[in-house]
Amino acid sequence: MDYGMPLIGDKFPEMTVQTTHGKLTLPQAFEGQWFILFSHPADFTPVCTTEFYAFQQRYPEFRKLNTELIGLSIDQVFSHIKWTEWISDNLDVEIEFPIIADHGQVAEKLGLVHPGAGSSTVRAVFFIDPKGTIRAILYYPAELGRNFDEILRMIKGFQVADSQKVAIPANWPNNELIGDRVIVPPASDVVSAKTRMDEYECYDWWLCHKPLEK
């Protein structure tokens, strides 16, 4: 079935894009790294400005997690450059990550323009792992800015889930039931279901948890 846009579990589509850092080919430009591609409605708009400031403030944390950032809107590259200059001059922050100057082709390929939400790109967030697989997609409307601590939390959660073969509970690492512990995958057969509660702390055989490995 052709959905017309990528979904969770799909490979990120190959594309060459013009950015404030020159031409880049995705996802190859970030091979071996996680990367987050995020779209914003337009340059020189108030909510988007607060978002870019927030992303740049957390950029060192993302890089410690082997994660790169790349923005996008349907604006020309000179507009991106002038806007980031304005942010530098007025907010004392240098935007260090690239921004894609899209003419609409990338937005169409990724499903970033939602007709019921206007003609600009919505606030989309794509999480792509080091193998080029899309792991999560978030969409926000123009009037609601994103929670960037949540985006950072998701990257941390994905990396823990992948490395420790566990699941991540709600509001982790501050879950109301188990704190910063992680969830053991449910038993897949009768024998392991019977022994599961002897091996881990459990509410029942299908809801067991263990400490996070450091």
H or E element in which residue 157 lies? helix 148-164
Encoded tokens for 125: 């967030």
- Rounded to an integer, what distance in angstroms lies between the CA atom of residue 18 and that of residue 190? 55
Active site residues: 48
Encoded tokens for 60: 């060192």
- Rounded to an integer, what distance in angstroms lies between the CA atom of residue 1 and that of residue 153? 32
Non-local CB neighbours of 80 within 8 Å, separated by 6+ positions: 20, 43, 73, 99, 101
Non-local CB neighbours of 137 within 8 Å, separated by 6+ positions: 6, 7, 8, 124, 125, 126, 127
Task: Tell how far CA 173 is from the center of its chain.
Answer: 18
- Rounded to an integer, what distance in angstroms lies between the CA atom of residue 67 and that of residue 33? 6
